[in-house]
Chain A
C-alpha cells in the first residue's frame, strides 16, 4: 500500500456512509465508477450501478432513520472492508437491524466493486428483487 493514497479509500468509505445515511442517492452514485460491479451473497448476481441505486433508493424511501452502527472499517490491499449493523425503522414502526460485511475495491477514488454479505433472512420485508 502506497502512503500517497493510503487514506483515500477510507475517505471514500466515510463519504459513502454519510451519503447513504442522508438518503442522498446522487452523492452515493457519484462515489461509484460508471462500470462498477455490485454483488450480494444472497442472489449471487453481479449488478450495475443503476440496479444497485434502485435498491438503495427503495431502502431510503422505505426505512426511516436508516443508519450504519457498530462500524468497523479497515483498509485492505484493494480498498476497504466495513463491518456494520444497518439499522432503521420499518413502515409498520418496527425496528430493523441487519449485520453486514461490505468489501469495497477502490481505484482512483471511485468504488469499482462492492461485495456485500448478509443473511437474507434479515432483509427488510417488501424489498423487491433486482431481476425477476
Chain B
C-alpha cells in the first residue's frame, strides 16, 4: 500500500513528460483538487488538464530532473526541477518546484504545487500577472 503512492508518482510524472494527458487524467481522481501557490485557487481535473495541455504545446522537452521523491502519510512529496524550452522564444525553463499529493488507491485526490512565479515560463495559465 505504502509503495503504491510512489508508483503513482512515477507514473504521473512520466505521463506528463510523454505528453500523455489521457494517462494523467486517469491518475487524477474525478474529484481531484489541484492547487498552486501562485494563484491560490482550487481547480478541477479539467482545469488542470487545460494547463497541462498548454505546457505540452508550448514547452519543448518538458522533463523533471533532480527528483527527490518521498512517501508521506497521505501520499507523496516530490521535489524536482522542471526543465524545457519555450517553443516560441527558445527561452530555457528551469523551474524548481515541490508537489505534495494525496493518494487513494491508484489515484491522486489532491495535488498542491509550489514554485516561484518569476521562474515560470511566460504565459503559463497558473499565474496572476
Interface residues of A (CB under 8 A from B): 41-42, 44, 74-78, 81, 83, 99-101, 103, 115, 117-121
Contact = CB atoms under 8 A, between A and B. Distances in A.
A70 to B, nearest CB: 11
Given A101-B98, A101-B112, A101-B114, A75 B73 contact: yes
A44 B96 contact: yes
B37 A117 contact: yes
B79 interface: yes
Contacts of B71: 76-77
Interface of B: 37-38, 40, 70-74, 77, 79, 96-98, 100, 112, 114-119
Contacts of A120: 116-118
B67 to A, nearest CB: 13
Nearest to B69: A77
6 contacts: A41-B98, A41-B119, A74-B77, A76-B71, A119-B37, A121-B117
Given A101-B112, A120-B117, A121-B117, A81 B37 contact: no
